[in-house]
Amino acid sequence: PKTDEEREHARRVSAKWREDNAERYREGQRSYGNRNRKQRAERAKERRRLNPEHAALKEKQWRQANPSKVKTWNLKKYGITAEDYNSMLELQGGVCFICYRTCGSGKSLCVDHNHLTGRVRRLLCSSCNRRVGQEESQSDYALKVRAYIKSDGRTCNPTET
């Protein structure tokens, strides 16, 4: 077995070699990563499963450190790029398409889309986006509420007003 001094000497020698051969070392790291991509992904998945609190903290830190990457990744869900988003934002004058307000505290406008077709519609503030989503999923309920209000409480049937 190696002594602590021998292990420390080996660490210093390795660090010196990595410093002197930085490009070769980086290429070796890339090559290893490419050859073992699947195994590395499985080990990472297992680490996240065993320690979800730590994984959530690391993800939060990464998201805070990489907001443009997060934005790009989120926009991919809707099939648009950051350039597409910025064009839409400029066309709308930087405001919500429904209420004409900007998002507070540095937040971005939401990409509103049809949940059935996936087609992107406009950019909305989070409040309007939530309301549209509720309206979309409860359109029958909304009709009943309107009929109820219009009938002054006499009926909930949209055809009886």
Could you please report the per-residue DSSP string of 2-40? Answer: --HHHHHHHHHHHHHHHHHTHHHHHHHHHHHHHHTHHHH
| pLDDT score recorded for residue 105 | 63
| pLDDT score recorded for residue 9 | 96
Rounded mean pLDDT, 138-146: 72
pLDDT averaged over the chain? 87
Which residue, 136, 113, 134, 137, is CA-closest to 123? 113
Judge whether residue 138 has pLDDT over 80: no
